[in-house]
Amino acid sequence: MQNKKTRIVLFIAIPLTVFVIVYVAFAAFFQKHFCFGTTIDGISVGGYGIEKVEEIIRQEVEGYSLQLVMREGAAEEIAGQSISLAPVFQGEIEELLEEQNGFFWPAIWLRKEKLELERVVTYEEEALEQSVKKLSCMKKENQREPENAGISEYSRKNGYELKPADYGTAINEEALVKAVEEAITVLADELDLEEAGCYQNPEVLDDNEKLLSCIEQMNQYAATVINYDFGEKSETLDGDTIHIWLSAEDNEPQIDREAVEEYVKELGKKYNTAYQPKEFDTSYGKTVTISNGFYGWRIDREEEIGQILADLAQGGTINREPVYSQRANSHGDKDYGESYVEINLTAQHLFLYKDGALVVESDFVSGKVSNGNATPTGAFGLTYKTMDAVLRGENYETPVKYWMPFAGDVGMHDATWRSKFGGNIYKTNGSHGCINLPLSVAEKIYGAIDKGYAVLVYELPGTESKAVQQQDATTVINMINTIGIVTLESEPVITGARNLYDALPDSAKAYVTNYNILTAAEAALAALKAGVDPNTQPTEQQPVDPNTQPAEQQPVDPNTQPAEQQPVDPNTQPAEQQPTDSNAQPTEQQPTDSNAQPTEQQPTDPTSGQ
């Protein structure tokens, strides 16, 4: 029994003793060696002492190289030998070993201890900098400068789009040297230059909020459509033009105001009709060109520029007219439409039309021609209208009931001081430039027109009244009668008579009954200037002294002849039938000046012709 117990004790004690011996032996071993399964910076050092570990690390450092990972898939390396890389041991391994408790070696073995060593290495700094400079990525030709994210060119399909940033491949040398130093110090296997911040990056990236907002705003501008209404014509302003005005400065949208102004200016050149010549079909069946005057469409340049900018800020499709500073009745060549006051200065007669219907017509008296106060011709618009006005000027102050200015200080008004209108009163007893009207006519016009109403003023030779034509012809007749015996000194009178005659309309020339005297005098003058004595020519060819013609052939006042007996163009009469010297007529038969009426019968203007 005793032996059996002894065998049991020995069976237990012997293995236990062996285990203790082995455990203690390993514990003692691991006091100077790293436990099995232990690694330092990934290097297996289990069972190795300090010297062995240092040797392993030294060997590793001697074969060390740093792999550089670059953008766009490029890679390079820096070998430790090129910079004389070597480890420096300052008791770091001893400290790691001391921290290891050898008596816990089984647990350490099982959990496979992973240690990190704060290594200390030495290298030649200058060699490192030279190695960095020699890298292919550091050569200028291999570097591409970064470009900020921006805005694409405009396209009709896509408008403006984000132009992605180009990160490039340009290296920040200072940052690279610093990153390499840090990587080598810990003997890192790889250095990612992107992660280490070694590149020069763009300042504005693709997600820049200010940039994205700018693109959005510019697309709104470019997507704006303004449809202009010009009556039967139209004009569209859209992105094709607008994008030319747009730019970005510091990622802020900019609109070139000068370009907008130029667009509005061209719009005005195309559609403005103010100050442009106008073809006008008169009430006399003839067409005249009215070159002067401000009437017509006129775009307000500054206001339209402002409206365009406002429309761009609003965006969308906008249908509207331009902003006008002045409007007309209709679009097109005849912008005065069918509502206007037609004033014929030659005939001294006006017509008022409204929507194509004649409202009133009347004779009038216009500006006095003889003292330079002729009424201006042109296409005008009524400036305003008012009642009970007092017209003031130099040496006059005249009250009127209806005042309707259309060309500065020139306008239409009643002239109650006049008893007659029309004819040729205006030539010697006209106004200061205004259109003088009978009171009743002024009242009708005043009630029918408003501000902006078209007033078309023109001259139309040949529309003078018959009395005026006869009077103008009488002036020519009288000048021809002053020619007398033709000498070289007669040339100014003959030339003056010719000019007056040529200035007459054809209808008035028929009233010049002594025209053949003028032609005969011109022929005699031409002979004298050629050195030929006209008295030596055959009788039928000699210039006739108008003073020797029979009295019964003297020209008579066309106003007293029946229409069928008025003289015709003397160029068609035989020479022997030419009228004789009108000076031989009795005084009472000479043509009279229609202005030479008795003073009490002439219309009197107390305001000197206002």
List of residues 6+ apart from 355 with CB closer than 8 A: 338, 339
* CA 352 to each of CA 214, 292, 472, 544: distance values in angstroms, whole numbers, following the listed order: 58, 20, 28, 53
What does residue 607 show for φ and ψ, rounded to 5 degrees?
-105, 20
Please give the CATH number for the structural domain made up of 212-275+284-326.
3.10.20.800
Whole-number average pLDDT of the chain: 84
Reported pTM: 0.64
Torsions phi, psi of 91, nearest 5? 85, 10
Which amino acid is located at 319 in the chain? N
Angle at 176 between CA 173 and CA 182, to 5 degrees: 145
Residue 65's pLDDT is 92
**Confidence (pLDDT) at 56:** 83
Pairing state of beta strands 86-88 and 43-44? unpaired
Q: What CATH number should be reported for the domain whose range is 340-458?
A: 2.40.440.10
CA distance 442 to 447: 9
Which range has the worst mean pLDDT, 28-42, 168-182, 190-204, 465-479? 28-42
Amino acid (1-letter code) at residue 564? E
N- to C-terminal Cα distance for the chain? 166
Per-residue pLDDT, 158: 95
Which amino acid type is present at position 124?
E
| Cα torsion angle, 492, 498, 503, 504, sign | positive
Asked if pLDDT for residue 192 goes beyond 80, the answer is yes
pLDDT of residue 19: 63
Positions of CATH 2.40.440.10 in the chain: 340-458
pLDDT digits (tens, 9 = 90+) for 434-462: 999 999 999 999 999 999 999 999 999 98
Question: pLDDT digit string (tens) for 322-347?
Answer: 999 999 999 988 999 999 999 999 99
Q: What is the model's pLDDT at position 594?
A: 35
Question: What per-residue string of b and e applies to 428-461 under the rule 16 or more CB within 10 Å gives b?
Answer: ebbbbbbbbbbeebbbbbbeebeebbbbbbbebe
- Of the candidates 24, 111, 83, 96, which has an alpha carbon nearest to the alpha carbon of residue 53? 96
Q: CA-CA distance, 266 to 600, in Å (whole number)?
A: 59
Q: What is the DSSP string of 477-540?
A: HHHHHT--S--GGGHHHHHHHHHHHHHS-HHHHTT-TTHHHHHHHHHHHHHHHTT--GGGS-TT
Q: Is the pLDDT of residue 122 over 50?
A: yes
pLDDT for 581 beyond 90: no
Which residues in the chain are classed under CATH 3.10.20.800? 212-275+284-326
For residue 2, what pLDDT band results from cuts at 50, 70 and 90? low
Q: What is the mean pLDDT of residues 121-140?
A: 92
Nearest CA among 494, 518, 509 for reference residue 582: 518
Grade residue 283 by pLDDT with cuts at 50, 70 and 90.
very high
pLDDT above 50: residue 559: no
Q: Looking at the predicted structure, is the pLDDT value of residue 163 above 60? A: yes
| pLDDT tens, position by position, 387-414 | 999 999 888 899 999 999 999 999 999 9
